[in-house]
Structure 1
């Protein structure tokens, strides 16, 4: 899990420090966690390769029962070798969607000062998988579980799996029909195409849920970067909260506006999104 953060050109160092301070503040505010100064100051040696960083994290989790001390708290910045882009890994109890949304809600209402001058958009990631067709389906099924009812898998399961799937389906029945929109972002990647990503995700969602680009109940965020595909489901107020763009929310709060700018926040070409 984690949160993608964008920042202005040539301001990555300052943005990284602001991200650390802001996230530490909200970790204490929401979860009572007082973090210590550490990896976000540049000591993380994962620079340049998010896939390698994730593999390192998996290895650390495997060693957890062996008494490994590789625990740097709930946050661990992964250095990205690309301008204007940062990624902060999160560990429980921090939940990326809830965490990002609360920060943005406070920014929208002016509940905290606009001290994060170098942070733009926050994009929470609940599930990470490989940026491939198989990985996309895997991420979709994991990220959307509990939010939207999905089409059954096209494989036969054994008795135990069938019973488990039945329990999942019973739980999904409680998910009334919702409307949804899919918002993909693809960076430094050429395999998965935008339209294909939207079509594939939509095909996995039960027909009881309908597409609504204007005011969906749920928004499916898809972030593809190099070989990694991240996904999360956020509430329908994502557009109202300026797509979790702190800069825009600060401007709105300072100007006293309460209504979203409907024209500028809508996609230019609706035919390419679902």
Structure 2
């Protein structure tokens, strides 16, 4: 009797990788690019399905695989049909998809590893957000942010500096007077002082560029969660509202202009009330 009552009152457990895929944790993706997904807690299972569908559709649309497949077919013309079939079956067994959902160990946070290294993570996320900005629609109610990370590494100042340096140089090496800032976000990981990371990144950027904390042209993203760190350098952080889908689809009420019109009646009411005071 007690068992049935307890089972009926239990909440759904947070999403975790299947038992046979326990190695699918974020720490195994170091050296790869990925997308950090923030979402409503207890909705991780649905979010995994949603985000994989969204990413696969975008990848098929903008970065299809058919060119690679055609090249392989041309190279393998000399092989017999039996050899080709055997290779195809072997490839299907090995193919885990172009994206893999990984457990971060933090509630409401999922890491999507980009297995296909030919997919540029920044460009892919840009494409997705451009469509969201244009249509004001998004095919998931529970996803909040999609943060592109160009490399995953161990969360130490030395490893972070090594991982982010190539991406900083890509933007700053042959340029002058760019404005930038360093955004450090830590989740369930408080061992590294944020200022140590910021100072290390600023040193790589160099003195010929200026820090701007309000409207920088370039943003260096450092996302730390447990024993993993993701880094990237982006130019559209504020344009895409810190990669926040919800803010784009449904902007806060503060941003809706009717506020000025709403204040006017209050002023009129005050003016109307003045004669009443004078009469007294």
TM-score range normalised by the length of the shorter chain? 0.5 to 0.7
SS of corresponding position for 1:128:
strand
Correspondence 1:202 to 2:202: yes
CA contact (8 A) 2:151 2:230 kept: yes
Correspondence 1:140 to 2:172: no
> Structure 2 length normalisation: TM-score?
0.65
SS of corresponding position for 2:213:
coil
Instruction: From the two aligned structures, give the one with the greater helix fraction.
Output: 2
What's the counterpart of residue 84 of structure 1?
Answer: 108
Deviation at 1:226, TM superposition (A): 1.8
Alignment partner of 2:119 out of 77, 94, 109: 94
What's the counterpart of residue 115 of structure 1?
Answer: 139
Separation (CA, whole Å) in 2 of partners of 1:176 and 1:94: 29
With over 3 angstroms needed to count, the CA separation of the structure-2 counterparts of 1:142 and 1:68, relative to structure 1, is farther
Gaps of 5+ in 2: 1-32, 67-90, 258-280
Q: Highest Rg: 1 or 2?
A: 2
CA contact (8 A) 1:132 1:191 kept: no
Cα-Cα RMSD: 2.6
Q: Which whole-Å deviations, capped at 9, do the CAs of 1:27-50 have from their partners, x for residues lacking one?
A: 11111248xxxxxxxxxxxxxxxx
Report how many residues are paired. 200
Gaps of 5+ in 1: 35-66, 150-172, 259-274
Deviation at 1:69, TM superposition (A): 6.1
Separation (CA, whole Å) in 1 of partners of 2:256 and 2:112: 30
With over 3 angstroms needed to count, the CA separation of the structure-2 counterparts of 1:114 and 1:229, relative to structure 1, is closer
Separation (CA, whole Å) in 1 of partners of 2:256 and 2:65: 33
Deviation at 1:176, TM superposition (A): 3.8
> Structure 1 length normalisation: TM-score?
0.66
Correspondence 1:29 to 2:61: yes
Q: How does 1:147-226 map to 2 (within 5 A)?
A: 147-149=171-173, 173=174, 175-226=175-226
SS of corresponding position for 1:231:
strand
Separation (CA, whole Å) in 2 of partners of 1:18 and 1:202: 37
Deviation at 1:104, TM superposition (A): 1.3
Instruction: List, as ranges, runs of 4+ consecutive aligned residues in structure 1 with deviation greater than 6 Å.
Output: none
